[in-house]
Amino acid sequence: MVIAVYPGSFDPITNGHLDLVERGARLCDRLIVAVLENESKQPLFTVAERMEMLREAVRDYANVEVGSFDGLLVDYARQKGATAIVRGIRAISDYEHELQMALMNRRLCPSVETVFLMSSEAYSFISSRIVKELIRLGGNLTGLVPPSVEVRLRNRVLKGV
């Protein structure tokens, strides 16, 4: 059984993330979408809220589950029995950072391989940071995030809920 971990902050989840979930889920028997507990990033949503949004967004994928971790990703992957880490690459600027992380993870745990998936063209420009900035400026999020996430974003950013 091939188990893979797709880690990220997912603050919030975007349609680009979901594209990688769908494609990553086809490559393994079990895909764990894992929310990084990193409060130093000053997230808009709590880990519990992000996990809830993810569960709603991936509920149609039978082999996808949602989890969270803090500390080293490779320790979490080992704990879950994963042999792969799925990471997305949108642009060459992502590659440089992701390569560093993949090489360090390989050094720490050679039995866990990093698999890079190129973003689909339709989502290559989307990031959580851009989505949050767009909502703050009153922009249209149609096609960028799931509708339920858009509602939560509007409530949090525009209404302070």
Taking the C-alpha atoms of residue 3 and residue 63, their distance in angstroms, rounded to an integer, is: 10
Which residue in 80, 101, 78, 98 sits closest to 32, CA to CA? 80
Q: Which of 17, 50, 87, 152 is catalytic?
A: 17
CA distance 124 to 56: 23
Q: Is 68 a catalytic residue?
A: no
DSSP assigned state of 91: S
Is the Cα torsion angle 8, 26, 29, 112 positive or negative in sign? negative
Active site residue 80: no
Q: Are 32 and 46 in contact (CB under 8 A)?
A: no
User: Cis omega (within 30 of 0) on the bond before 147?
Assistant: no
Q: Which of 119, 128, 132, 152 is catalytic?
A: 128
Which tokens go with 139?
A: 């922009």
Marked catalytic residue, from 90, 106, 127, 148:
90
Residue 128 bears catalytic tag:
yes
**CB-based contacts of 26, cutoff 8 Å, min separation 6:** none
Catalytic site residue 127? no
Active-site residue list: 17, 41, 90, 128
